[in-house]
Structure 1
């Protein structure tokens, strides 16, 4: 197969104007072109998924579709629509959907022997319907002990993760979150201010870094943490690969905590930020991602 015969779309969000997202898109596009793949950056806001008379099609294109899509957004409906059109989408819409929600991730991995912090799920409420009786949350606080961790189900860069020291603060946090979905977890003191990011492509660990913060319980670099190259243990590598495989993610940034008895799953990112780990380790994960896709096309006999 001649790799130059492949054409892909790199789908990004049309409303995110922050430099780090545009830099990431260009970084990935450059990697594709180094591999001889013709890559076009496509904003999700320029595509309109349509179902007419029961038939799916797409407005906003010249009628030509790519060979595959690298989906760097969380527009689940668009990703699923592209799959309906027969396009290979990396990662799949189902993998993106599950990984995008911390609640869905932990439940999808439950029952598979994946070590993770003790996790509880709040009783659901509707938008505009306040939880006036907080007895259930007082019981949850007693179950987990303090401090405990509250994580909004949808959030990035550690910005929607809260360390809750007391019952009063827990009740206030629950009130502030309202109907927004969240989970509650035991606090892993042994991993305070440090974690591991393991980037997996297919069934291989491509790069890993340890993140550390001296002043925050979160190790995220956007929360002030620093990173350095890290060689994961076999247990850490196996755990990261197994999580990605169970969730159906071809590519994943798997975050692990340091448990006293071994690694614990923190979360799985289907659209991990590749620039940070490249700057830290010197490894361009996007190159491995495109190698993986090209291998898949070769196995299918693409000419």
Structure 2
């Protein structure tokens, strides 16, 4: 049975990185004899009314057999799920992955290794974070310390703080935003691992390094080399993916003491071109293969 899928990416973001991901998925689907249509999320409008639940679109084509959702528009993803369309990753998995606090909570519940983390109390719109909170964070985590916003991509919205003065200034600047205080894993300064998980398998991995930044993100200037993960690293990456209910994900691991792996982040829509350039492994083929096997 030849299945037809939709591939949805964000139509409002600058650059072609997200379209590129969609095109890689589309090419992989074609190789598996599955036809696909690429849509921007703003070409599909969720419509609600009394007894009505639809996705409005210009072409009026029927709903697909599956969706690869390369976006964070969880309302649209959920609308498609309500209409009975299998969505990969699910709206819930994308939502948790996009929210780093929610991600760390899921990982902690599963007893998976993460940096020690203190969630900043919620401030609505504006207001002063109580000084006792900041003092407790300093006493518990020490310096240097990471301040990490709950929402952010490509290593942005992550700050390395060295002093009490810097800490108070940063906290002041983050009024109204969800963020956390986090232990700095000094043993992983400028280095991390990206393991790409599909289903219950690590299909590709690379090590990322930066010479002049505590973050190793390639987008921020880091370099990458192909990497053979240990059994412990693979097991952790798969467990982290399953902890948020994702079908596939890019798992970022830090090098903890004695090189023990620690989960840094989970990316439900990790870009796969860098992984291909580094390892010559096309993750899109694994993603489409996994989806079609699930559906058939």
TM-score (norm 1): 0.94
Matched, 1:195 2:192: yes
- The aligned residue for residue 137 of structure 2 is 140
Q: CA deviation at 1:130?
A: 2.2
Q: CA deviation at 1:223?
A: 1.5
- For structure 2, the 5+ residue unaligned runs are none
Q: CA deviation at 1:74?
A: 0.1
Corresponding residue to 2:124 among 123, 126, 136:
126
1:108–1:247 CA contact under 8 A, matched in 2: yes
The worse-fitting range, judged by mean Cα deviation, of 282-291 and 34-43 is 34-43
Distance 1:222 1:68 in 2: 30
Distance 2:286 2:157 in 1: 30
Q: CA deviation at 1:148?
A: 0.3
Closer, same or farther: CA 170–66 of 1 in aligned 2, 3 Å: same
Q: CA deviation at 1:87?
A: 0.2
3-state DSSP of counterpart to 2:187: helix
Matched, 1:162 2:140: no
Distance 1:193 1:18 in 2: 26
Matched, 1:176 2:180: no
Corresponding residue to 1:150 among 139, 147, 150:
147
Runs of 4+ in 1 over 6 A off after TM superposition: none
- The aligned residue for residue 41 of structure 2 is 44
Q: CA deviation at 1:63?
A: 4.7
Matches within 5 A, 1:187-226: 187-226=184-223
Distance 2:4 2:61 in 1: 14
Distance 1:194 1:288 in 2: 26
Q: Write out per-residue CA displacement over residues 88-146 of structure 1, whole angstroms, 9 at most, x where no aligned residue.
A: 0000000000011110000112132201110110011111x221643311221221100
Matched, 1:248 2:212: no
Q: CA deviation at 1:16?
A: 1.4
Distance 1:237 1:166 in 2: 36
Matched, 1:73 2:77: no
- The aligned residue for residue 110 of structure 1 is 108
1:138–1:167 CA contact under 8 A, matched in 2: no
Closer, same or farther: CA 89–206 of 1 in aligned 2, 3 Å: same
Q: CA deviation at 1:33?
A: 1.3
Corresponding residue to 1:95 among 87, 93, 96:
93
Corresponding residue to 2:291 among 268, 290, 293:
293
- The aligned residue for residue 301 of structure 1 is none
The worse-fitting range, judged by mean Cα deviation, of 189-198 and 177-186 is 177-186
Q: Figure out how many residues of one structure are paired with residues of the other and give that number.
A: 294
Closer, same or farther: CA 258–64 of 1 in aligned 2, 3 Å: same
- The aligned residue for residue 274 of structure 1 is 272
- For structure 1, the 5+ residue unaligned runs are 299-303
RMSD: 1.2
